[in-house]
Structure formats: C-alpha cells, structure tokens
Amino acid sequence: PQKIILDVDTGIDDSLALLYLLASPEAEIIGIAATAGNVPTAQVAINTAALLELTGAGGIEVAAGADEPLAVPLRTTEDTHGPQGLGYAELPVPTHPLSDRSAASMWVELARAQPGEVIGLCTGPLTNLALALRIEPELPRLLRRLVIMGGAFNHPGNTTPTNEWNIHVDPEAAKEVFDAFSAAPPDRRPLVCALDITETIEMRPEHLIALAEAAHSLPIERVDAGDQPEWRSAASNPVIRYLTDAVRFYFDFHHLYDLGYLAHMHDPFAAAVALDPALATTRPATVDVELAGTITRATTVADWAGMWGREPNADIVIGTDPAVFFERLVTRVGALARR
C-alpha cells in the first residue's frame, strides 16, 4: 500500500480525512504529525489518538509538533470546530501514548528511511513540515509527493478577504515550504487543494444519512424541521455517532455564516486526491506567500503564466467531480464503520 505521513490540526474535517485514509485499503498511514491550528497541538494529539482508538487503529504513531507557528502567536478557531475541535462529539480520553520524537523529526526519519515511497499529506498549518525542511532540505526529493490543503487563489479567503485558514495561521511556514519546492521536478510538485476547489465539496445531511446506511447503522433523524434543522443520530454505531455529532457542528457553523446547511470537506478531499490524483485536474503555477503587506499578509499568490520567470513549484487542483468524491467517502467510511 501507499505509505502516508498525515500532518493534521484535528479538526472536524481533518478527522474525516483521517477516517477516509483508515478506510482506504490502498493506504497505510505510517505516522501522524499533530500541528497547532484549529485547536492547540496537545488537543490535536488527543483528538487524533481518540479517533484512532475509536476505529481500532491505536497502533499508529502520533507525534506532537511545535506549540506555536514559526514567527507569530498561535490563533485557534473553536468557533469553526467546537470547544475541543471535534464539534459536538465527545470521545473517550485516549490511552494511546504520544511518540517520543517530535513531529519534524518523524517527518525526516520516515522520509529518509523509505526514499521516494512516502506521500506527505498536510491538512493543517505547515509549521511541522517547515521545521522538517530546516533539518532535511532534501525532503522534496525524498518524498514521493506532497499534497497540501491550503491557500486561496482566484477565490476569496475564509479567514480574511484573501487568506485561507491554514496559511493564515503560519504564513512563514507556508512560504518556506513553497520555496523549498522551487526546483522540484514536475512529478514532485506539491498538489495543492485550495479553497477554490475545496469549497465546491459540499457535504449535506443526505451524505450523513447515506453513510449511516452504508454502515448498516440506525438512520439519522431530523428532529427539528425549522430554519436550522437539527440532525440527531440514534446510531448505536460509534463511528456513525461520532460523525453525526462532529459534522452537525460543522453544518451549524456553515449555516451561521450563510453558506447553507452544509459543510465544506476541505481536508477529506485532499486525502482522496493524495490517494488518487486522477480525481482532480490540475494546472502548474508558481506559488508564493505574501509576508509583508498591510492588508494582504498571508495571501497565497499563484503565477499561472510565468510572469515572475520562476519555474512552477505547485500543481493546483482546478477541477473535480464532487459526486465521485462523496461516493467514495460514503462507501469507504461506511465500510470502516461496519467493521
């Protein structure tokens, strides 16, 4: 199977990315790096370990990253992901011990041990990867491929008018990562899933119902048909119950911001693309991150036309069929829940 290092700030949609990978027979997660972002690093590590235990995957290494971004204080977003980061879900405190190596050391050691074989998937701020690149500048050549959820190009931001959250939290790290790939050959360019594409991946209550059905779990009930419908899981299946409680918070958050009663599946989409790039069409570009600026700091800029005279350092996802992604999510995670 394809070896994967997952770097997460779990996080509701990060948790679905994790479940998607665990549910995919062609993937083998060889290490998980916890990064500060949606919630602080320690909480990310707890959430991630709790999810591994929920699905019987407790043996996977979880390494904690830095507590703070490279150059700025940490900002978290409990508004978006709930007080502990997993929406309304409350999972048992995990017994899973944390790795005794740092997230950055884990990245470097795993990539060195199996050169050309490991895909790195980053669904949070890029702090750990930037620190790993400072230790091992050859990482772009040691990894088989890097897949990043982050940025907003020809699309508004979700944190400031031009900033996407993961880049906003640690823009210095993001710049170091994109700069490190400036000489990467075309087949090693990071695949970038930015808001331009991930905001087209709209999960709706119907998808949760389909997931429960795929897991042969009790259906999810709509208990309030008012303006803001409530979905409550009568599910006895622990994975379906988790998903319902987590994703319902994400629906409520998107609804609060007038985006509809739905949730953008940023991180699970990036996971699906990491395993099967054929899900997406891409376009090469040179990506850079604004670090100065009075109103545009942490904005990602894509030079699509070579105007800077620099080689492309990214393949940006520009198209996909969301229905194909959701079909896979439902089938795979439904089967995982049934196990």
Binding letters toward Ca ion, positions 259-278, x by CB under 5 A: --------x-----------
> Is the N-terminal amide bond of 11 cis, ω within 30° of 0?
yes
Give Cβ neighbours of residue 169 (< 8 Å, ≥ 6 apart). Answer: 36, 37, 69, 74, 75, 124, 125
Cα distances from 107 to residues 1, 59, 132, 193, 334, in angstroms, run 18, 17, 6, 21, 30
Residue 43: name its binding partner from ligand BDR, Ca ion, none (Cβ under 5 to 8 Å by kind).
Answer: none
Q: Is 11 in the site for Ca ion (CB under 5 A)?
A: yes
- Please, where are the H alpha helices in the chain? 12-22, 41-54, 78-81, 103-113, 127-135, 139-142, 165-169, 171-180, 195-198, 205-214, 238-256, 266-275, 322-338
Give, as ranges, the residues between 126 and 165 that touch ligand BDR (CB under 6 A): 149, 158, 164-165
Q: Is 43 in the site for ligand BDR (CB under 6 A)?
A: no
How far apart are alpha carbons 333 and 339 in whole angstroms? 10
Give, as ranges, the residues between 310 and 339 that touch ligand BDR (CB under 6 A): none
Residue 190: name its binding partner from Ca ion, ligand BDR, none (Cβ under 5 to 8 Å by kind).
Answer: none
CB-wise, 175 or 254, nearer to ligand BDR? 254
Q: How would DSSP label each residue in 7-28?
A: EE---HHHHHHHHHHHT-TTEE
Q: Is 170 in the site for ligand BDR (CB under 6 A)?
A: no
Q: Is 288 in the site for ligand BDR (CB under 6 A)?
A: no
Q: Is 7 in the site for Ca ion (CB under 5 A)?
A: no
Binding letters toward Ca ion, positions 112-151, x by CB under 5 A: -----------xx---------------------------
Q: Which residues bind ligand BDR (CB under 6 A)?
A: 11, 13-14, 38, 77, 80, 123-124, 149, 158, 164-166, 266-267
